[in-house]
Chain A
Amino acid sequence: ELKVEQNPLFLSMQEGKNYTIYCNYSTTSDRLYWYRQDPGKSLESLFVLLSNGAVKQEGRLMASLDTKARLSTLHITAAVHDLSATYFCAVTPWNSGYSTLTFGKGTMLLVSP
């Protein structure tokens, strides 16, 4: 059974600080996705990582993938209040034909002044 673990599950940050969210998964895969969810809203795609060593950046967020370690990171640089949301990572295992997503439990990020 594929397991996807995120940590921390809750993160309270001050504006201007840096931090990293970690996503570990238990099976072979080279496809990992990061989503953002605001309260009461749907999931917004942030990054799609499709190979070992992939790195993508958008604004203050940067995601990377290490398939050998089965680890992805979401790095937050100089956090601002607008980044407050819940962040999910999700993995498609190779034996599902790269189709079904398995999600982590999410990291609730709160950025305060």
Chain B
Amino acid sequence: DAEITQSPRHKITETGRQVTLACHQTWNHNNMFWYRQDLGHGLRLIHYSYGVHDTNKGEVSDGYSVSRSNTEDLPLTLESAASSQTSVYFCASSESSSGGYTFGSGTRLTVV
């Protein structure tokens, strides 16, 4: 069965370190997204991609970057982790908006 997987599920890192969160989907979807979820804010869009070599900034992109070298993967990199980036991160993919969006199981990141 097709799926979307995120790794790691949990990570603790120190302030200032570079961190990369992985997202891999086997749906063959062109569109991939990264969201962060914080209490009181719902989910907010960080970056998104419509296809290979395409990346776009979302609402809260400062301090984050993504790259899309193939259809299946959209890794999210925190260039220099800050305590404000402690959050739960969700990756999602879709083929089209009429088909809905599939979410990964999330990565809980703690920056100490």
Chain A residues in contact with chain B, CB under 8 A? Answer: 31, 33, 35, 41-43, 45, 48, 50, 88, 90, 92, 98-106
Contact yes or no, B97 A31, CB < 8 A:
yes
Contact yes or no, B42 A33, CB < 8 A:
no
Contact yes or no, A42 B45, CB < 8 A:
no
User: Given A31-B97, A99-B48, A99-B97, are A106 and B42 neighbors across the interface (CB < 8 Å)?
Assistant: yes
User: Given A99-B31, A100-B45, A101-B33, are A43 and B90 neighbors across the interface (CB < 8 Å)?
Assistant: yes
User: Given A33-B100, A99-B48, are A104 and B42 neighbors across the interface (CB < 8 Å)?
Assistant: yes
Say what secondary structure dominates the interface of chain A: loop
Contact yes or no, A48 B98, CB < 8 A:
yes
A98 to B98, CA, bound (A): 9
User: Given A99-B48, A103-B43, A104-B42, are A92 and B97 neighbors across the interface (CB < 8 Å)?
Assistant: yes
Which has the most chain B C-beta neighbours within 10 Å: A42, A45, A92, A106?
A: A42
With a cutoff of 8 Å between Cβ atoms, the chain A residues found around residue B16 in the complex are none
With a cutoff of 8 Å between Cβ atoms, the chain B residues found around residue A99 in the complex are 31, 48, 50, 94, 97
With a cutoff of 8 Å between Cβ atoms, the chain B residues found around residue A45 in the complex are 100-102
A31 to B101, CA, bound (A): 12
A104 to B90, CA, bound (A): 16
Beyond known contacts A99-B48, A99-B97, A104-B42: 6 more, CB 8 A cutoff: A42-B105, A48-B100, A88-B43, A98-B98, A99-B94, A101-B101
A-B pairs, top 8 by smallest CB distance, nearest first, are: A98-B97, A103-B42, A105-B42, A103-B43, A43-B103, A42-B105, A48-B100, A42-B103
Tell me how far the C-beta of B106 lies from the nearest C-beta in chain A, rounded to whole angstroms: 6
User: Given A31-B98, A88-B42, A103-B43, are A42 and B50 neighbors across the interface (CB < 8 Å)?
Assistant: no
